[in-house]
Amino acid sequence: MLETTIAGSLPKPEWLAPPNTLWAPWRLEGRALEEGKRDAVRLALHDQEQAGIDIVTDGEQTRRHFVWGFVEQLDGIDFSKLVTIGIRADRYKASAPTVTGPVRRRGPVHGDEVRWARANTVRPLKLTIPGPMTIVDTIHDGYYGSRERLAMDLAALINEEARELEALGLDVLQLDEPAFNVYMDEVRDWGVAALDRAVEGLRCRTAVHICYGYGIKANTDWKQTLGSEWRQYEQTFPALARSRIGGVSLECAGSHVPIALIGLLGDKDVLVGAIDVATDRIETPGEVAAVIREAMKHVPAARIFPCTNCGMVPLSRAVARAKLGALGAGAALVRRELGR
């Protein structure tokens, strides 16, 4: 009951990559880099376990960026052809590789990471993979000429990958779709269908993470333009309620999302963001508990998973660890009230 988890990422140790940076370059190379990544995963698992996080992730310690970590392993995407594009409806600029042919997996993408994480924790294990629409929005298409067709091919290969990861003992597959809060028409027309294709036939638990982005300036500026009530979820949640996806991870803490919108999710699991990643201020366990109690007014506790709003990769490790602690302690507070 009220099992805790995180959106996915944690900051990397400073010996592995420069802190407080997205797309940070690696500080090691060759065998030292491979060993450093594995050590960082063990530390990320340890920090989560210490904080009382129930469903743990690898902290995304082995990828430079949550989208690149996946697409770097695909054929049909050329990283020698980097183009600067505006992503998330031009909210910020990113250097994007070019799609030059049909997208295919070159081989397993995250198999080694899941094997390593699985061997280093006994807790339920979650892995994140970028969702089809978010990948489409973070690469430059020079081949398909249709965001939908590219997304459907990506969904098919995500599904192949997911089936292998499930066989390796992965408990929860989460697809990250921040683009779902930006392209509402595309979500309706093909975004949810692509998600459904990506999780087709899986027996492990699944979830989709939809947020308002990392706590970086481009996102906090954008949030200022969204008004006093953020109602993007109101359009997507009914469609997700009818989808195959098992759960939805959303941003609640410190946001202008009306919490009642989670009532639109039907019988889905709800990963309630109770930790704000856009501030270094550490939540108290009482504040976390208050968000959980609010969520319980709209969704039964059995379907609530206290979580972070988004990834914590841009934060310092000390702040991230303290926020993990608040999340674990806040959920424990509510469980005690419920006598569990």
- Specify the 3-state DSSP secondary structure of 40: helix
277 part of the interface to Zn ion, by CB under 5 A: no
Residue 228's Cα: distance from chain center in Å?
25
Stretch near Zn ion under the rule CB under 5 A, chosen from 119-127, 143-151, 210-218, 231-239: 210-218
Whichever of 88 and 321 has its CB closer to Zn ion, that residue is 88
Query: For helices 192-199 and 147-167, what crossing angle results, to 10°?
Result: 30
Whichever of 121 and 255 has its CB closer to Zn ion, that residue is 255
310 part of the interface to Zn ion, by CB under 5 A: yes
Residue 69 tokens read as 């970590």
Closest C-alpha to 8, from 111, 117, 88: 117
Stretch near Zn ion under the rule CB under 5 A, chosen from 67-75, 231-239, 259-267, 306-314: 306-314
Stretch near Zn ion under the rule CB under 5 A, chosen from 44-52, 125-133, 198-206, 308-316: 308-316
Give the interface size with Zn ion as a residue count (CB under 5 A): 2
175 part of the interface to Zn ion, by CB under 5 A: no
Residue labelled with tokens 């660890």: 321
Radius of gyration for the chain, computed over Cα atoms and rounded to the nearest angstrom? 19
Stretch near Zn ion under the rule CB under 5 A, chosen from 48-56, 70-78, 206-214, 331-339: 206-214
- Residue 60 beta carbon to Zn ion: minimum distance, rounded to whole angstroms: 11
Distance CA(216)–CA(79), nearest Å, equals 25
Binding residue for Zn ion (CB under 5 A) from 40, 172, 211, 334? Answer: 211
Residue partners of 195: CB distance under 8 A and separation at least 6: 131, 132, 155, 175, 177, 208, 243, 244, 245
Per CB under 5 A, residues contacting Zn ion are 211, 310
